[in-house]
Structure formats: structure tokens, C-alpha cells
Chain A
Amino acid sequence: MESNTFDAIVVGTGMSGGWAAKELTEKGLKTLVLDRGRMVKHGDYPTATTDPWDLPHGNRITQETRHRKPVQTRSVYPTPANTHWFVDDLDNPYSEVNRFDWIRGYHVGGRSLMWARQSYRFSPMDFEANAKEGIGVPWPVSYDEMAPWYDYVETFAGISGAADGMPTLPDGKFLPPMELNCVELDFQKRIADKLSRKLIIGRVANLTAPLTHQESPQRAPCQYRNLCIRGCPYGAYFSSVSATLPSAERTGNMTLLANKIVYELIHDNDKGKATGVRVLDAETGAQTDYFAKVIFLCASTLGSAFIMLNSTSSRFPNGFGNDSGELGHNLVDHLKAAGVNATVEGYTDVAYTGRRANGFYIPRYRNIGKDKRSYLRGFGYQGRASRQGFGRFNDNAFIGAELKQAMKEPGPWTLNASSFGEILPNHLNHVTIDRSRKDKYGLPVLKFDTLLRENELAMQKEMVSDAVEMFEAAGYKDISIGENNYAMGLSIHEAGAARMGKDPKTSVLNKFNQVHACKNVYVTDGSFMASSACQNPSLTYMAFTARAADHAVAELKRGNL
């Protein structure tokens, strides 16, 4: 028992778990960090430097992968170069009342290894929207309270971006911005002139210059290979594996164990506290209990929802901390619509060198100021201009010497844009536990029941028509609309299943990410999100996690936990 007892336990090592581990250990807590998947240390990136000709089958997704990973291959990512980062769906099933795409990886570092690294602050508008519009519950936190924590995590992580001066997308502590290419600069000017839309370079967690601190000597600037998803041997993008876990390791206060599946929180009804976690060893099946004064659930939105829903007791018959009945509910993602593509005439004598791991961003402009739509909230576009590669030869009749000659020239410029929109929190969109099915480990599975609703469907139409309008305004002729294959989850931004709020009757967590009904449990992955805005969420998870860890250590010292 003694050896199983720590000051703190962190469940999960993805974006939020890495931050919890770093902050708690740096503040002196002996911390047990558990991940359900295999160990990954910085540098354990088996395909990071593999040349294209050493990847099988032109790096296309194989039938074998489709067979083992029917859910993961609803996304485009599990190619031979990346498939080892994505779970085996046959071993890790779940139930769907309606289609929900749960795309994930079980390994140390979690999705912080595969993320798209786009890093945007939420704005005052985003934190105020629920209260103003009477949607969901009001955020119990203001932008001003969060701003210093955004500063803190941006500085450590290293976020590249430009100061754009937009109140609806606050600037941060940035490393130098990456460049827009010539066609993107031209597009930027055209849509500013014609539609007063603002296009900026993406803000991305890749180092464009040395970090401004000395805490991560293992990290070097971006080499512009654009192979980030495979893991970066240079440590040039932020992940738990490249950044936060090495910092936690250096304190000497971290015990990191892989292959440990946390499936239940242990609650002491007399003390009114959680005392520890129940763990199943993924390799041996052995069951072990670990104990601590404070527990951070950072197992991902749905991972934490599962653990809490699966932790029933006489005090919490409907799931841990679920006095409100909101646990597992209000699940959101980011809405996608069909991408829009255009061929751009001209600029034939220029191109770019290097492979930029970033694109442009057109921040939300709908329902801001005087603009009023039939739907609430809005969306932003991410995209890029590029010169076409060999794929273009599939559309013409060139063969032989003519084709060989054409290969030596870059293709015409194309520009694409796709969007992330806000999905409104709705009690009806939820997960429960399906005890009729078991996974490989004998544990019950999650059951998803979510749908896009009126607001989303109205917004989705305009996400396409606005892109077409922008491309037309820019004078582009050959405009094509891609397929819309979106179902909830596919943006891999799931959030909200244990929302925070002021009132314990309507929310699961308080403003410091503590479970209202059990103050020594903090939940700091995407579960806490009372709404998701339309920006990529990871930076916000980082900021809330760092803040929650600071709060937890102070509360421990005050004897309040």
C-alpha cells in the first residue's frame, strides 16, 4: 500500500495530462502518472525520418488497417507512416446509436503527438456567449482570468504567430510567424478589399525560433519537413513527449507507468473524498489500486467520461460527481462542412521552398458586430495555397515523353479552405455506458447518442457558400466543392462531457476544474468545456490544466483537499 501511495495521480499523458504532470511535479508533489497505452519516449518515432520510397504502397491506407481500424480509417490519418498511433478498433469497440467518430491513440503522449498544432486563444466573446444567449450554462471563468495562463502555457510550449490585433482572437506570446506564400498574400488582399475579411497566418505550436526559456534543451527549431504527425526527432513541435513529460521527469518527482488502464475512481463516503484509482494492467490483466491526496483526470474527454460514469457507489449511483445528471451530456465537437477548392491563375513563375507545417486562418466573422445570421455563433477557415503535384496527371491525357516533360514543372496553383464551426452544447448529445458489450480487457464500452441539430445544419450550409463567395470575390474560376463526410467526432475535438459551471445542480465541475461534489478530483481534459467556440481547443486545455494544478497545490497547502 505504501509503495502505491503518492501525493497526486494524473490519469492520461496527452495534452492535458502532460501539463498536469509537469506542474504538479515542479511544485513538489510526488506524482504517479498513468497511461493506458504503451510507453513512448522522446525519439521513439519509428517513421519520423523515413523517406517516401521506404513507406509501403505509396503510404496509402491498407485493407488490413481498414479491417482492424474501421473507425480510425473514417479519418485520413492511419496511413502506413502513422497507423501505429491509432487504436485497434476491434480491441477497443464502442456502440453508436448514431455515428460518432472517436479517433484516438493509446500510447504515452496521446493525441499531443498527432495533433495539428493550431493554437488559438478563446476570446472574451467566446467565454460570454453562453450567458448572453442562454445556451448551456454560463462559463464560470472570464477571459481576463485566463489570459495570464494563456501567456504561461504559450511561453513554455512555443507558439508561432503574428500579432493581428483582433479582439475576437486575442494575440498571445508568440514566436515569429511563418510566411504566407505569394498566392495566399494575394488572396488575403482580395478578400480584405472585397469582403473585409481578415486572413492571417496560422498560429502553430512549432518553434520558428529558439524558445525564450531554458527549460526544454531537447527542443530545436522547426526544420520545415511537415511530417509532424509521425513525431519530431527535433522536438520542434509541442507534445507531452517532447516537452512537458521531460520537464516532469527532470524534477525526480514523477513515476510514469505505461499500460495502466484506470477504470474506476475509489470514493470514501465517510471522508467525502476520492482516495485513489483502480487500475487494470493492459498486458497482464493484474488489478492494482493506487492512492493519492489529489487526482487529475486527463484521460481525454471521453476517456474521463468513461471513468467517471463507470465509478458508481452509494454516494454516486449515476456516476462519479454526477449529482447534476449532466455527466456524459453536452458532448460537442467542431462542425465540419465540405472543403472548397479553387484553381488560381497566374503566379506560374514562383513557388515556395520548404514544407510549411501550417496554413492560413480566416478567423470567425459571423455574428460579430452588426452581422446577424439565422444561426448562433460562427466558424473559421483553415487552408493553404499550393502548387499541384503529380495527382494532376490523373486529370489529363498526357502519356509518354509529353508526361515526362510535364513532370519537370510544378503544377498550377490551387487554394483550398475548410472550416471548423461551433456546435452548441445540448443535453441530448450524450454518452452512456453500454454494459452489454465488453472490450478486449473485459470492460464495458461507451455508447454514443449525438446528432447535428438545427443550428449546426444551418451553419454548415453557410460554411460552404461563404467559401465559394470568397473564392468568387477573389476572381477564381475553377471552384469545386468537396464531399461532406462529417459526423460528430471526426474533427477530433470532442469536448464537454463534464462541463464546468457555477451551479452544482447544472454542472459537474467548478471554475477550477474540481468536481463540485468531490473537491480532490480535478478534470482538465476537454470534458470541462462549457462551450467549444470554433477555435482549435488544445491551447485552452493547456491553460486550464496549468491553472487547475496551481489551484490544487495551493488548496493542498491550505489543507482544503
Chain B
Amino acid sequence: MSEDLDPGMSQRRELLRRAAWLLGGAISAPAALAFLQGCSRKDAGADVQASGVLSAPEMDTIAAIADIMIPKTDTSGALDADVPQFIDKALGALYPESEQQRFKAGIAEFGTPTVDSVKQAIAAALTADLDPKPFILMMRELTLLGYFSSRVGITENMEYVPVPTAFHGCVPLSQMGKHVYWE
């Protein structure tokens, strides 16, 4: 593929220039590149490997739960969107150590995920209104966040228009095709 047809590449280079500027020019190019690559995810493939705070067996468990929560149907599923990898990284980046450990303990206690066990765990957690949030709800929140911040999750379920150019306040859904992405 020529570089011109790959908006990702030229955009990434531009981002790299700007990131270097942003960080006061003090960052080396390879370090900046690693930073940028860390920002984006592959769009497909369920190559489940631990790269953050979770072990390989822990990744297997959350991959199984994510696949049950958002399976592949006529649109991509959680595994197509690299949700387990997202969770692994997000857990390390967004949560304090104590929450990470609680999440890991939740994985260990969950056992082998089945459709029924996931369903029952969610139903039980929703009625209990527990604080801190039970593992299964934290898991679902991260699965939804990972899926709906992925390219396939957004573009296959919604109409993603990067530059809408106009706002119309009252449009019949029947005229919209897929409903639009608003977040």
C-alpha cells in the first residue's frame, strides 16, 4: 500500500512531530513512536497475550468473559476489538494498585466462565448494589468501554461521521440508517 493511501502512516508521523513538540522536544523519536503505538490498537485478531498487569491465564479468563458479553454476530465482537488487551492496559493505567489486585482476585474467584455463570454473576451484582463495585461489573464496564472505543465497535454498530458539518435537532430515525455516533 502506498503511503498516500495509508492515512495512518502520515498522520502518525505528524502526530510524532507534534508529540515531540508537546513534550518539549526532549523525547527521542523511538520513545515517541513507542508512545504513539501504545495509543492505538489493532482492529482485528484475537491474539490474546498479556502485555500489562494480567497473567496469561488471567487474560484467558477475561477473554472468555468478554466474548460471552459481546460475541461476534453480524458485527464484530469483543475479541475482534482487542478488548482483553485493552483491559490489560487500562487496568494498569487507570486504576490504583489496590483496584488492580481486587480485579485479579475477582478473576481467580470466577472460575471457568460460561454464558450462565456470567449472566448469573451480573444479575446478582446488579441487585446487591455493592461497594466497592463487584468484579463482574467492573469487567463489564471495561468491556463496554474497550469495545465502544474501538474502531470496529464504533463503526460497525453506529454511523461514525468525523466531520458532520451540520447539526439537525430532530431527524426521524427512519432517515438515518445506522444511528449516529454522538459521544
Using a CB–CB cutoff of 8 Å, the interface residues on chain A facing chain B are 38, 44, 46, 49-64, 80, 84, 178-182, 184-185, 223-225, 349-356, 386-387, 389-391, 393-397, 399-401, 403-404, 407-410
Contact = CB atoms under 8 A, between A and B. Distances in A.
Contacts of B180: 351, 353
Given A46-B19, A57-B94, A225-B162, 14 more contacts: A51-B160, A52-B183, A56-B89, A57-B93, A58-B146, A59-B149, A62-B94, A184-B169, A185-B170, A353-B161, A353-B166, A394-B144, A399-B119, A403-B70
Interface string B12-34: 00010011011010000000000
A254 to B, nearest CB: 22
Contacts of B40: 53-54
Interface string B122-137: 1100100000000001
Interface string B80-102: 00000010011001111000000
A410 B166 contact: no
Contact of B164 (A56, A58, A355): A355
B44 interface: no
Contact of B149 (A53, A355, A407): A53
Lowest 10 A-B CB distances belong to which pairs?
A354-B167, A181-B169, A354-B164, A179-B169, A182-B170, A46-B18, A58-B149, A58-B145, A53-B151, A356-B167
10 contacts: A38-B24, A51-B151, A52-B154, A224-B166, A351-B171, A352-B167, A353-B180, A356-B169, A393-B144, A409-B179
Nearest to B43: A53
B144 A179 contact: no
Interface size class of B (residues with CB under 8 A): 35 or more
A84 B24 CA distance: 11
B38 interface: yes
A399 B69 contact: yes
Nearest to B92: A63
Contacts of A410: 173, 179
B172 interface: yes
B68 A399 contact: yes
Nearest to B67: A400
B24 to A, nearest CB: 7
B164 A399 contact: no
B73 interface: yes
B127 to A, nearest CB: 9
A308 B136 CA distance: 55
A46 B15 contact: yes
Nearest to B95: A63
Contacts of B162: 49, 51, 225
A62 B119 contact: no
Contacts of B178: 408
Contacts of B43: 53
A355 B182 contact: yes
Given A53-B40, A352-B167, A397-B126, A60 B96 contact: no
B73 to A, nearest CB: 5
A179 B68 contact: no
B122 A63 contact: no
Contacts of B119: 397, 399
A555 B147 CA distance: 62
Contacts of B90: 57-58, 60
B174 interface: yes
Nearest to A54: B40
Contact of B144 (A390, A400, A408): A390
A178 B148 CA distance: 28
Contacts of A49: 11, 162
A466 B75 CA distance: 44
A356 B166 CA distance: 8
A53 B71 contact: no
B171 A400 contact: no
Nearest to A395: B126
Contact of B96 (A57, A63, A181): A63
B140 interface: yes
Given A182-B170, A223-B165, A397-B119, A386 B94 contact: no
A49 B86 CA distance: 22
Nearest to A179: B169
A243 to B, nearest CB: 21
A354 B168 contact: yes
B167 A179 contact: yes
